[in-house]
Amino acid sequence: MTAITPTTRRRRTSALRRLNPGLRAFMPYLICIGGFLVAWQALSLVLGVARLPGPINVITETWDPYISQPFFDDGGTSKGLGWQILISLQRVALGYGLAAVIGIAIGGLLGLNRFIGKGLDPVIQVLRTVPPLAWFPISLMVFQDANSSAIFVIFITAIWPIIINTAVGIREIPQDYTNVARVLRLRKGAYIRNIVIPATVPYVFTGLRISVGLAWLAIVAAEMLKADGGIGYFIWDAYNAGGDSSSSQIILAILYVGLVGLALDRLVAWAGRVIAKGGN
Amino acid sequence: MATAFLTVDDVSQVFPLDGGGQYVALKDIDLEIAEGEFISLIGHSGCGKSTLLNLLAGLSQASSGGILINGRQVSEPGPDRMVVFQNYSLLPWQTVRQNIALAVNTVMRDASEAERRERVERNISRVGLAHAADKLPAELSGGMKQRVAIARALAIEPKLLLLDEPFGALDALTRGNLQQQLMQICQEAGVTTVMVTHDVDEALLLSDRVICLTNGPAAGIGQILKVNLPRPRQRLEVMEHPDYYRLRSELIGFLQQQRRLKQRQQAISVAAGPAEPEAEPEAEASPVATAPQKLRIGYLPGLDIAPLAMALERGFFADAGLTVLPMSFNRWQQLEEKLQLGELDLAITSATTPLALTLGLRGQPAWPAITPMTVTRNGNALCLARRFIDLDVRDLRSLAARLNGREWPVRLAIAQKGSMQELLLRHWLASGGINPERDIEFHTLSPMAMQAALLAGEIDGFIAGRYRVAKAVEAELAYVVATDHDIWRGHPEKVLTCNEGWAATHDQALLRFCAALMRGGQLCDDGGQHDGLVDLLSRPQWLGNDAAAALQRQFDLGSGQPSGQRLPLPCYHSDRAHVANGAEGAWILTQFSRWGWSSFPSNRLELLSQVYRNDLCDQALELAGFAALRPERQPIAMADGRPFDQDDPLTYLRGQPFSGAAAVDTVTLPPAAASRPLAAR
C-alpha cells in the first residue's frame, strides 16, 4: 500500500480512463478469461496435447463439423451438437414442465394445509437428498424405456425445490397481508387469488430456478448412462470412440452444456421477474 | 358516559412462552368508549398497546374478559372494525386503486358496480391521491402509502377505526399534515377511533381521551386523561390553549415515571440476583425440603391482628414452610424504627405508613417501603367523653355547632401521627366545617393509654379501632359519634408493609406469607368461626379477656339511644379487602398534601405503582387459591358526597375544605438498591 505513491496512482487511473467506457466495462472479463485460457493452454503443453488439448487444439480439431455445422444429420445418432442439445432440452422440457405443474400443486397443498405439510415434511426431506442417478435404475425397471426413464429422473430431481419453496412461500406470507384478508373477511378464492398467489410467486420462482439447474445436471448424467441421442450421450459416445479428437469434442460439449445451463437459469429468473412485477 | 359503544371488560392477555411459563401482556383492562370518540393509547414500547388494538380488531382473542361492540361480543375480525396497520399493509402487487377496490368489492358485495367504483374514486380523492391511483405502493412515499391505507379503511365505512402507530415512520412535516387530514376525515365521518401512538403531541391533538398504559408485563391502565380542547382543532391554536401544556406535561410525566419504574425494577432484579433457591410449596402433602424460613412480623395489639393470629393458630404458615415470629409493640414509632433497622421483616401498619416511609414524612430519611396486601378495612370509630352527650353533641353537625365560638380546642387522641385514623378524622371534621388545625388539638398516645387519658380528662375523645372504642364504651366513659361508615366505607385500615429490596430478595417467602395471611383473614370473616376467633383472641398472647367484650358487644353505641347502627367490625377478606389499591394511595397523598405534610407528588403514579404492589397481591391470592382481585377504576365513594377520582386528584384536592394552596412537586424516590442502609452497618 505504501508503495503506491500518489503520483503512480494518478497515472494508473488516467491510463484506465483513456479507454472508451464500453471497453472499460469488459476489461475484467477480458483479462480474467484471457488469463484462464492462457493457463489452460500452458497446462495442456505440460501434460501433452493427447491427454489434455488446449483451447486452440479444441477449436481446430472440432471446427468441422461440430462448430461450423451444428445441425448436420448423418442418420442414426450421428447428429450435430445443436440437434443433440435440442434432444436433451426436449426431455428437460417434459420432465421439468411436469415437475413444475405437479410441484407447485403439491407445494400449495402443503403450504395451505398445516396438517399435511407437517406430516409429509419428513418424506420430502429424505427424498430430496437422493442423488438424481440413484433414481435411474428403478425408473428403468418401471418404465422399461430409456427415454421415459430419463424424463422421470428429471422430474423427480426437479420437483423437490419447487415443492419446498412453494410451501415455504405460502407459510411465509407476511402476517400483514393475512391480517388484511381476515379483517376484510376475504373469501377463500379471493384470498388465494389476491394474496396467496402474488405473495408466493417470488418463492416459487426461486424453486423453479434451482430446479432448472438440477434438471439440466440430471439429464446429462442420465443420457450418459443410457440413451439414444442427447448431449450427454454425445459426450459418452465421444469418449468411447476414443478418436484423435474425442477429448476436444468432449470439452466442446461440456462448454455447450455449461452455456445452455446458464441460459436456462437466466431464462427462468427473467420469467420470474416479469411475472412477479410489483411483488417483493 | 351516556352510551358505551365499545366496552372492554376486564380483559387480560397471556401468551405462552417457548420455554414453558407464560407472559402476561395485558392485565385487567377496563374501558368504555362512546360513539364517535377519538381515543389514543399511549405507553412505552412493549406495554401491550398493539396487543390491545389487535384484541379490539378481533385479530386475537383475549385470554380472559371480553370486548363488546354495541353489546355484541367481538370474536373474530370483521370490516366493521377496520385496522390501519403499522406498516400500511398494502398489497404491493396491486395499484392504489386495486388495493382500495379489493376492500370495497369484498365488503360491499351488494352495491352496484358503478356505486362501488364511485366509492373507490371518492376515497382516493378524499386523501388527495387521484394522480397516483394507478401506481404500485412501491412507487409511493411513506406518507402516500399511509394515506392509501387510511382511504382503504374509510372506504368501507367501519364503525370503529383502529390505527396502529399510523404516523410513526413518517417525517415530521408529513406527519403533521396527515394528522390534520385524519382529524378532519374522522370528524366528518363521525367514526369512533382508537389510535396507538407514542407521540404525546399527536395524542393531544387528535384525542378526546388519552389512555396511558403502564409498563409490561401485566400492563394496565395507569391513567386516563380527558382532552377537553375545543374542536375543530388546529395544531397551532391547540398549542396556544392554556390547558395544552398542563396536559402535555401530565402525559410526559406519566411516560417518564414509567421509564424510571422500569429502570428501578431492572436495578432491583439485578441486585436481588438469581431467584431464591426455594422449593415452591406446590404439593401440600410433601414436607418442605428446605429449612423453614423465619419471618419476624411486628404489630400493635388490636382486632387488626386477627388474621395473623388465625393463620398462626391453624398452622397456615408452617404449612407454607415459614416460621413466623410475631412481635408485639406498644408504640407505632418503635415498630417503624425496628422495621427500618431490619430487625423486623414485615409489619402490620396503618395504611398510610408505606407512603409515609417512602416519602420520608416529618423529616425522616426516605425509606423504600412497599405493601403487597391490605390486611383489614374499616373497624374504626371516634368516641367522645360522655360529658359531650350532655352538651347534646350527637353527630358532626352538633359538634361543629358546639365548637363554633368556643375558645379552646377539643382534644382528640390518635395513635400515630399521619395514620389512616388521623386522616379519616381530619377529613370527617373538615367535611363538617371544623378546621382541624384550629379547632382541634391532636394528642398522639399509645392506644393502650387512651382510655386512661380519657378517664383522667386529659383528652376529650379519641379515634381508634373497635376494640379500644368498645372498651371505653363498656366502661361508660365514652360514646361513639362517628364510624367508618360516616367517613369512608371500605377504607384500607391496616396493610402489610416491608422494604422494597427485602421483598425482591424474599419474594417467594413473602408470597407464601401473604397467602397464609389471606387464608387466615378468610376464616376471620367467616361467621361460623366467630366463637373460635373470640376464644383465640382472648388468649393472653393476643388481646386477653377484654377481646371477648369488644367482639361480642352488640351496640347502642353508648349514646343511650337505641341505634340501628352497629360498631363496624373490621373487614378481613370479603369485599375485595386484600387489594393493594394505588387509587386509595392517591387519596392518602391528597390528604398528606391537604394538611401540608408534603407537597403533592407530580410523579404520583411512579410512587404509587412502586409502593402498591398489587402484582404481589395477585400472586398471593392465586397461591392461596382465591380469585384475583383488581383495583377498580371508578371514583371512590366517600360519605361526604365528594367522590375521589384517581385520574384527577388535584381537582379533588383543590375542592376540599381547608386544603389551602396545595403545592405540586416532583418527589425523589429513595434509591432502589439501598435496601437496608441502616442494617448494613
Task: Print pLDDT tens along chain A (280 aa).
Answer: 444 444 445 555 556 566 677 788 888 899 999 999 999 999 999 988 888 888 888 888 888 778 888 788 877 777 888 888 999 999 999 999 999 999 999 999 999 888 998 999 999 999 989 988 899 889 989 998 888 988 999 999 999 999 999 999 999 898 889 889 999 999 989 999 999 998 999 999 999 999 999 999 888 888 888 777 888 888 888 888 877 788 888 999 999 999 999 999 999 999 988 887 644 4
Contact state of B77 with A279 under an 8 Å Cβ cutoff: no
pLDDT band (50, 70, 90) for residue B678: very low
Q: DSSP letter at B477?
A: S
Contact status of A273 with chain B (Cβ, < 8 Å): no
Instruction: List pLDDT tens digits, range B397-454.
Output: 888 888 876 667 889 999 888 999 999 999 999 998 888 888 888 999 888 888 889 8
- Residue B307 has a CB neighbour count (10 Å cut-off) of 30
Q: Sorting pLDDT into bands at 50, 70 and 90, what band is B3?
A: low
State how far residue B103 is from chain A, nearest Cα, in angstroms. Answer: 6
Predicted TM-score (pTM) above 0.80: no
Q: Is the peptide bond before B677 cis (omega within 30 degrees of 0)?
A: no
pLDDT-derived band at B276 (thresholds 50, 70, 90) equals very low
In angstroms, what is the C-alpha Rg of chain A? 25
Determine whether B527 is exposed, middle or buried from the number of CB atoms within 10 Å of its CB (0-12, 13-18, 19+): exposed
Residue A169, min C-alpha distance to chain B (Å): 15
Distance between CA atoms of B620 and B370, rounded to whole angstroms? 15
Grid cell for residue A29: 472479463
Q: Quick one: closest CA in A to B89, which residue?
A: A176
Say yes or no for a CB contact (<8 Å) between A195 and B79: no
**From the list A185, A190, A278, which residue is nearest B92 (CB)?**
A278
| SS3 (DSSP) at B381 | strand
Beta carbons within 8 Å of B325's beta carbon, 6+ residues apart = B294, B295, B296, B297
Which chain A residues are Cβ-neighbours of B94 within 8 angstroms?
194, 198, 278
Cross-strand pairs, B38: B193
Residue pair B494/B574 in contact (Cβ under 8 Å)? The answer is no
Interface list for A 171-230 with B (CB within 8 A): 176-177, 179-180, 182-187, 190, 194-195, 198-199
**Closest-CA residue to B216 (of B371, B42, B27, B61):** B27
Query: Does position B675 have pLDDT exceeding 90, yes or no?
Result: no
Angstrom distance (rounded) from CA A236 to CA A230: 10
pLDDT of residue B238: 86
Option in A176, A186, A278 nearest B106 (CB): A186
Backbone Cα Rg of chain B? 29
- Residues of chain B found within 8 Å of residue A182, distances taken between Cβ atoms: 59, 76-77
Report the range of poorest mean pLDDT among A184-198, B5-19, B283-297, B511-525.
B283-297
Rounded to a whole number, what is the distance in Å from the CA of A161 to chain B's nearest CA? 24
Q: Is the previous residue joined to B643 through a cis bond, with omega within 30 degrees of 0? A: no
Confidence check on the interface: ipTM exceeds 0.90, yes or no = no
Are B81 and A183 inside 8 Å of each other by CB?
Answer: yes
Least confident of A42-56, A66-80, B86-100, B614-628: A66-80
Nearest to B102 among A179, A194, A278 (CB): A194
Counting one residue from chain A and one from chain B, the pairs whose CB atoms sit within 8 A come to 60
Q: What residues of B are in the A interface, CB distance below 8 Å?
A: 57, 59, 76-79, 81-83, 85, 87, 89, 91-94, 102-103, 106-107, 136-138, 156
Least CB-CB distance to B87: which of A176, A182, A280?
A: A176
Interface test with B, best of A183, A203, A274, A280 (most B CBs within 10 A): A183
Contact criterion met (CB below 8 Å) for A155 and A214: no
Query: What residue type is B388 in one-letter code?
Result: F
Q: How far is CA B193 from CA B41, B143, B380, in A?
A: 11, 20, 47
Selecting from A185, A276, A280 the residue whose C-beta is nearest the C-beta of B78 gives A185
The C-alpha of B105 sits at a distance from chain A's nearest C-alpha, in angstroms, of: 10
Mutate to test the interface with A, among B90, B91, B100, B107 (most CBs of A within 10 A): B91
CA nearest neighbour of B457 among B426, B411, B526, B513 = B411
How far lies B638's CA from each of B428, B487, B526, in Å?
10, 6, 27
**Averaged over B659-677, what is the pLDDT?**
67
User: Residue B68 is inside which H or E element, if any?
Assistant: strand B64-69
What distance, in Å, lies between the first and last C-alpha atoms of chain B?
Answer: 56
* Contact call for B89 and A179, based on CB within 8 A: yes
What's the CA gap between B209 and B187, in Å, rounded?
15
Q: What is the spatial distance between Cα A215 and Cα A262, in angstroms, rounded to a whole number?
A: 12
From A147's Cα to the closest Cα of chain B, the distance in A is 41
Q: Which three cell numbers, joined as nine digits, stand for A69?
A: 455445422
Torsions phi, psi for B311 (to 5 deg): -65, -40
pLDDT tens, residue by residue, B183-203: 888 888 888 999 999 889 899
- Letter string b/e over residues B630-660, b meaning 16 or more CB atoms within 10 A of that residue's CB: bbebeebebbbeeebbbbebbebbeebebbe
> For chain B, how long is the longest CA-to-CA vector?
96
B23: closest CA among B213, B212, B215, B216?
A: B216
User: How far A264 CA lies from chain B's nearest CA (Å)?
Assistant: 26
B106·A184 Cβ contact <8 A:
yes
Position B674 confidence tier, pLDDT thresholds 50, 70, 90: very low
Number of other CB atoms surrounding residue B81 within 10 Å? 24
Dist. CA B616–CA B350, nearest whole Å: 19
Cell of A110: 402443503
Q: Which residues have C-beta within 8 Å of that of residue A64, sequence separation ≥ 6? A: none
Cα separation, A214 vs A160, in Å, equals: 10
Closest to B375 (Cα-Cα) out of B299, B261, B318: B299
For residue range B359-400, list pLDDT tens digits in order. 988 778 889 999 999 999 988 889 999 888 888 888 888 888
Distance CA B253, CA B244 (A): 14
* CA B255 – CA B42 distance, rounded (Å): 9
Per-residue pLDDT tens for B197-241?
988 989 999 999 999 998 878 888 888 999 988 888 888 888 888
Amino acid at B478: A
Distance CA B185, CA B82 (A): 15
> Cβ contacts (< 8 Å) between B85 and chain A: which residues?
176, 179-180
Would you say B165 and B175 are in contact if contact means Cβ atoms under 8 Å apart? no
Nearest chain A residue (CA) to B87:
A176
Alpha helices (H) in B476-613, listed in sequence order: 500-505, 507-525, 530-537, 546-552, 582-594, 604-611
User: B22-34 and B209-213 as β-strands: parallel, antiparallel, unpaired?
Assistant: unpaired
- d(CA B554, CA A101) in angstroms, rounded, equals 90
Q: Which three cell numbers stand for residue B48?
A: 401491550
What is the percent of chain B with per-residue pLDDT over 70, rounded to a whole number?
Answer: 91
Closest B-chain CA to A201: B93
The distance between the two most distant Cα atoms of chain A, rounded to a whole number of Å, is 74
Q: Does A184 contact B76 at a Cβ distance shorter than 8 Å? A: no
